[in-house]
Amino acid sequence: SQQGEEDPQALSIQEGENATMNCSYKTSINNLQWYRQNSGRGLVHLILIRSNEREKHSGRLRVTLDTSKKSSSLLITASRAADTASYFCATALLKAGGTSYGKLTFGQGTILTVHP
């Protein structure tokens, strides 16, 4: 089964509104990352939050991590039409010794549409 599940699957908002996307995962992680993908293009890294961090900010992005609930959220404030994209969470699973397995596992993604 998928390590990362995201909700909602799709989100449609007006410009200026905030967008919140959620990600849940099943096993212990080393870190959790968020990526954006514009239609049919490569992914762009947005933010990385480590397992010992609870919140992180980058510009209009705010990410939270709750390891007790195995969940994370991505908040985009004051959204713009250019934020229209698919957003994926990706987890780096924890290995014994505090390292990661050499891979990321991506969630199903949230399709965000921001209307001008």
Partner 1 sequence: DTEVTQTPKHLVMGMTNKKSLKCEQHMGHRAMYWYKQKAKKPPELMFVYSYEKLSINESVPSRFSPECPNSSLLNLHLHALQPEDSALYLCASSQVGRQILEQFFGPGTRLTVL
Complex with partner 1: residue 4 or 83, whichever CB lies closer: 4
Q: What are the tokens at 65? A: 């991590």
Other CB atoms within 10 A of residue 71 CB: 17
33 binds partner 1 (CB under 8 A): yes
Task: Determine if 106 is a binding residue for partner 1 (CB under 8 A).
Answer: yes
**Interface pick for partner 1 out of 19, 23, 109, 114 (rule CB under 8 A):** 109
The owner of tokens 């993908």 is 37
Location of structure tokens 């599940």: 5
User: CA Rg, the chain, in Å?
Assistant: 14
Q: Which stretch binds partner 1 (CB under 8 A): 19-27, 43-51, 63-71, 77-85?
A: 43-51
Among 12, 28, 58, 99, contact with partner 1 (rule: CB under 8 A): 99
Span 13-32, contacts to partner 1 by CB under 8 A:
30-31
Is 78 a binding residue for partner 1 by CB under 8 A? The answer is no
Query: Does residue 104 belong to the site contacting partner 1 (CB under 8 A)?
Result: yes
Residue pair 78/60 in contact (Cβ under 8 Å)? The answer is yes
Please state whether 108 falls in left (phi above 0), alpha (psi between -120 and 50) or beta.
Answer: alpha
Look-up of token digits 């987890």 = 91
Which residues make up the interface to partner 1 (CB under 8 A)?
30-31, 33, 35, 40-45, 48, 50, 88, 92, 98-109, 111
